[in-house]
């Protein structure tokens, strides 16, 4: 007879027995990460952090997230094509945020040049939390959309089989049937392959632009190998390699190490510290100027900033991007949490007052990616008291704090003891699109992943953890009150 998940979670003997099976299964299925000690060596690998069991997501909300993804793809693309909107939106931010200003500077430089390339490739991940309101309802709320270097599409393609096996061994066979197949790696590769074909040179390579520390390399490899299967050559290079060996020919074709590059796929370049010298910025500009398809190009990168997200949530703005599509607007808007400007002026002053009065209701976010930057609770007051009369406050936006219900689960991390944790989970949905000139020739939702934070009290520490835990979910019918999350 099979048992219930709650009972299994409490059965220490069973959990101890499953632990080894779970780790071995993750290794067997390739849910892998290199070790902290030897991040650049393929000699030693371990399992990537994952949860013992998948996370239930109500069917209705799951399908809502998948269904809205192609609209988000089009929205990001349309924002990227609207210089007036980008300029106006980022005007206050770039005065105080040096990183965004440098990106914007590249954007401005290339905007006035002839664009050699009309092919645009977007691979993004829209992240959500399930917000639990006091009246018991649960709704899907977007945390952010990542338009550059969105990760875990590879590893998430392998976790369904791992979880199915664990659920069987844990005597939870019914749950097994609820774990859906998922293959974002193949979908992301389809987008890359489409753009590569349109570029139209068999010899030209897809270049993954990667960091110098490569712990998460296996996540990339799944996408890489999908490309190789299609006989599309892939190289992996760092900013430094592009600085040293990169050049443009008279037609602005990009060459790195003597290879023509059809696509630059950025898995790096989203944080200030990724640009270790002026040369890295020069390399970014050179790639941007080139005929290579950039994933993302600089305007698509800027379209994923938190300031843009905040402006899109303003009344009437989505309508400007989808003037004849009220349904699309409604679908996108339904996923927005409250977002508030901190620009100088009356509206921004109101935001400051609101945050100071109820700091626990909000998250204060700078224009940064990669986790660990957000500000919560009393720290919001400290920061805003200091900055409230200064333009420095415009480096941030304020967002309603989403309140997901923590789910009990065991977290497996290499080298750490197994512990029952109170986990907050995020659903990440992958989108891929290709546009050639005015035509969207490819626009798909290509899968999803569960990202997990541990223990909400740790505030933003949840982030690093969140991004390190791809898993899959079990679908459950949505019940009133959403009590199944406890």
Determine whether the annotation assigns residue 216 to a binding site. Answer: yes
Residue whose C-beta lies closest to ligand ADP: 402
CB of 373 to ligand ADP, least distance (A): 5
d(CA 309, CA 302): 10
Could you tell me the end-to-end alpha-carbon distance of the chain, in angstroms, rounded to an integer? 24
Determine whether the annotation assigns residue 151 to a binding site. Answer: yes
Determine whether the annotation assigns residue 108 to a binding site. Answer: no
Minimum CB distance to ligand ADP smaller for 176 or for 463: 463
Phi, psi (5° rounding) for residue 60? -60, -45
Which residues of this protein are in contact with ligand ADP, per CB under 6 A?
A: 127, 143-144, 337, 363, 365, 368-371, 373-374, 399-402, 426, 453, 460, 462-463, 466
CB of 368 to ligand ADP, least distance (A): 6
Determine whether the annotation assigns residue 452 to a binding site. Answer: yes
Determine whether the annotation assigns residue 399 to a binding site. Answer: yes
CB of 391 to ligand ADP, least distance (A): 22
CB of 450 to ligand ADP, least distance (A): 12
What is the total residue count of the chain? 486
Residue 204: CB atoms within 10 Å: 22
Cβ-contact 313, 336 below 8 angstroms:
yes
Minimum CB distance to ligand ADP smaller for 39 or for 370: 370
Minimum CB distance to ligand ADP smaller for 8 or for 451: 451
- How many angstroms separate the Cα of 299 from the Cα of each of 110, 119, 122? 10, 13, 11
Minimum CB distance to ligand ADP smaller for 124 or for 462: 462
DSSP class of 158: T
Where are any strands of DSSP class E within 38-137?
45-47, 50-51, 55-58, 119-132
Minimum CB distance to ligand ADP smaller for 144 or for 349: 144
Tokens coding 419: 């512990």
CA dihedral of residues 81, 144, 32, 28 (deg, nearest 10): -100
Cβ-contact 285, 315 below 8 angstroms:
no
Determine whether the annotation assigns residue 345 to a binding site. Answer: no
CB of 39 to ligand ADP, least distance (A): 21
d(CA 1, CA 181): 26
Cβ-contact 241, 278 below 8 angstroms:
no
Cβ-contact 219, 151 below 8 angstroms:
yes
- Mutual angle of helices 12-29 and 159-169, in 10-degree steps: 150
Determine whether the annotation assigns residue 370 to a binding site. Answer: yes
Residue 255: CB atoms within 10 Å: 16
Minimum CB distance to ligand ADP smaller for 94 or for 256: 94
CB of 377 to ligand ADP, least distance (A): 12
Q: Which residue has the tokens 């009590």?
A: 483
CB of 126 to ligand ADP, least distance (A): 11
Determine whether the annotation assigns residue 376 to a binding site. Answer: yes
Minimum CB distance to ligand ADP smaller for 92 or for 425: 425
Determine whether the annotation assigns residue 400 to a binding site. Answer: yes
- Annotated binding-site residues for Mg(2+) read 144, 146, 369
List, as residue ranges, the binding site for ATP: 144, 306, 365-374, 376, 399-402, 426, 452, 460
Annotated binding site: 125, 144, 146, 148-151, 214-216, 267-270, 306, 365-374, 376, 399-402, 426, 452, 460, 463-464
């Amino acid at each position: 007879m099979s048992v219930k998940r709650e009972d299994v979670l409490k059965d220490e003997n069973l959990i101890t027995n499953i632990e080894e099976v779970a780790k071995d299964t993750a290794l067997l299925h390739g849910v892998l990460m290199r070790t902290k000690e030897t991040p650049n060596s393929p000699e030693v690998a371990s399992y990537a952090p994952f949860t013992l069991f998948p996370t239930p997501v109500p069917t209705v909300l799951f399908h809502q997230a998948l269904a809205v993804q192609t609209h988000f793809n089009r929205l990001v693309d349309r924002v990227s094509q609207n210089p007036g909107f980008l300029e106006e939106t980022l005007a206050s931010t770039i005065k105080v945020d040096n990183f965004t200003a440098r990106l914007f500077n590249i954007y401005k430089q290339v905007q006035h040049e002839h664009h050699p390339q009309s092919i645009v490739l977007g691979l993004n991940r829209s992240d959500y939390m399930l917000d639990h309101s006091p009246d018991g309802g649960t709704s899907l709320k977007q945390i952010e959309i990542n338009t550059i270097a969105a990760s875990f599409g590879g590893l998430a393609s392998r976790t369904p089989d791992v979880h199915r096996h664990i659920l069987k061994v844990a005597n939870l066979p019914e749950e097994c049937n609820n774990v859906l197949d998922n293959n974002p790696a193949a979908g992301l590769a389809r987008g890359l392959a489409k753009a590569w074909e349109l570029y139209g040179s068999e010899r030209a390579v897809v270049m993954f632009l990667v960091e110098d520390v490569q712990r998460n390399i296996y996540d990339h490899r799944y996408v890489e190998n999908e490309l190789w299967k299609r006989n599309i050559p892939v190289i992996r290079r760092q900013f430094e390699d592009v600085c040293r060996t990169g050049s443009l020919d008279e037609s602005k074709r990009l060459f790195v190490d003597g290879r023509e590059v059809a696509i630059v796929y950025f898995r790096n370049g989203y944080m200030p510290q990724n640009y270790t010298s002026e040369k890295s910025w020069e390399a970014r500009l050179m790639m941007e100027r080139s005929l290579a398809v950039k994933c993302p190009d600089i305007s698509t990168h800027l379209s994923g900033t938190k300031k843009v997200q905040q402006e899109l949530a303003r009344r009437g703005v989505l309508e400007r991007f989808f003037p004849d599509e009220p349904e699309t607007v409604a679908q996108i808007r339904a996923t927005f949490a409250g977002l508030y400007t901190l620009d100088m002026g009356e509206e921004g002053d109101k935001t400051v007052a609101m945050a100071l009065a109820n700091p626990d209701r909000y998250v204060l976010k700078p224009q940064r990616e990669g986790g660990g930057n957000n500000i919560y609770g009393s720290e919001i007051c400290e920061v805003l008291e200091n900055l409230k009369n200064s333009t420095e406050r415009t480096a941030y936006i304020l967002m309603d704090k989403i309140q997901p219900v923590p789910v009990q689960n065991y977290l497996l991390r290499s080298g750490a003891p197994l512990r029952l944790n109170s986990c907050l989970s995020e659903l990440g949905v992958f989108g891929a699109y290709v546009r050639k000139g005015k035509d969207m020739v490819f626009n798909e939702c290509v899968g999803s992943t569960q990202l997990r934070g541990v223990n909400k009290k740790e505030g933003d520490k949840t982030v690093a953890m969140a991004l390190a835990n791809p898993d899959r979910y079990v679908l459950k019918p949505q019940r009133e009150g959403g009590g199944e999350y406890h």
